[in-house]
């Protein structure tokens, strides 16, 4: 009985290994399908080639940058903080200057904060566009806040 169990266990292990290898081959195949891996210096060249444009959504910009960074070799390890610093530094100056760097702990936070900046900026623009409601001015006492007919 024990022998059968051990044999079965081995069989399952082999099957699992086979599935793993198949999956890995597929992933490697995908990598090749998306084009050859770029050498590291080309990755950095592409990454630093341009900054985020003002109208470019931050999540799109960040995920493009992360896709590039993901192509870097596993060794030597590029620290997460350095990656964040790089991408953070490439954000449009409006967004970059509005987000305190110490509040950005990961890419998700970065996108979140950038989104908030964008919303605030849009609201700001909106309120600038709207003409301020004019305060009534009294022609009698020359004070604001009421009209002559309501002058106390
Ligand atoms: Zn008055």
* Domain-embedded: residue 145: no
Separation CA 130–CA 79 (nearest Å): 46
Torsion of CA 115, 121, 126, 127, to 10 degrees: 130
* Domain-embedded: residue 56: yes
pLDDT of residue 32: 47
**C-alpha 137 to ligand 1 mean position (Å):** 8
Separation CA 130–CA 13 (nearest Å): 69
**C-alpha 128 to ligand 1 mean position (Å):** 29
Number of domains in the chain: 1
For 44-59, the DSSP string reads HHHHTT-PPPTTS-HH
**C-alpha 135 to ligand 1 mean position (Å):** 13
* Domain-embedded: residue 64: yes
pLDDT in tens, 108-130: 999 998 888 888 888 888 888 87
* Domain-embedded: residue 137: no
pLDDT of residue 64: 92
Sorted by sequence, the CB contacts under 8 Å of residue 139 that are 6+ apart come out as 147, 148
**C-alpha 108 to ligand 1 mean position (Å):** 56
pLDDT in tens, 7-48: 766 766 666 655 654 555 545 544 544 566 789 999 999 999
* Domain-embedded: residue 33: yes
What is the extent of the structural domain holding 87?
A: 2-117
* Domain-embedded: residue 108: yes
pLDDT in tens, 62-71: 999 999 999 9
**C-alpha 149 to ligand 1 mean position (Å):** 8
**C-alpha 132 to ligand 1 mean position (Å):** 21
* Domain-embedded: residue 48: yes
pLDDT of residue 101: 85
**C-alpha 136 to ligand 1 mean position (Å):** 10
More confident residue, 98 or 29: 98
For 57-106, the DSSP string reads -HHHHHHHHHHHHHTS-SSSPPPHHHHHHHHHHTS-HHHHHHS-GGG--S
């Amino acid at each position: 009985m024990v022998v059968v169990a051990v044999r079965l266990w081995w069989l399952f292990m082999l099957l699992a290994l086979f599935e793993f290898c198949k999956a890995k081959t597929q992933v490697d195949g995908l990598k090749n399908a998306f084009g050859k891996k770029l050498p590291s210096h080309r990755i950095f060249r592409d990454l630093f080639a341009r900054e985020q444009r003002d109208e470019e959504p931050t999540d799109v910009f960040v995920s493009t940058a992360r896709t590039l960074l993901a192509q870097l070799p596993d060794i030597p390890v590029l620290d997460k903080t350095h990656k964040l610093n790089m991408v953070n530094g490439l954000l449009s100056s409006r967004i970059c200057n509005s987000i305190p760097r110490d509040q950005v702990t990961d890419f998700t936070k970065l996108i979140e904060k950038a989104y908030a900046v964008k919303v605030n900026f849009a609201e700001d623009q909106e309120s600038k566009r709207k003409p301020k409601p004019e305060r009534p001015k009294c022609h009698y006492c020359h004070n604001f806040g009421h009209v002559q007919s309501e002058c106390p």
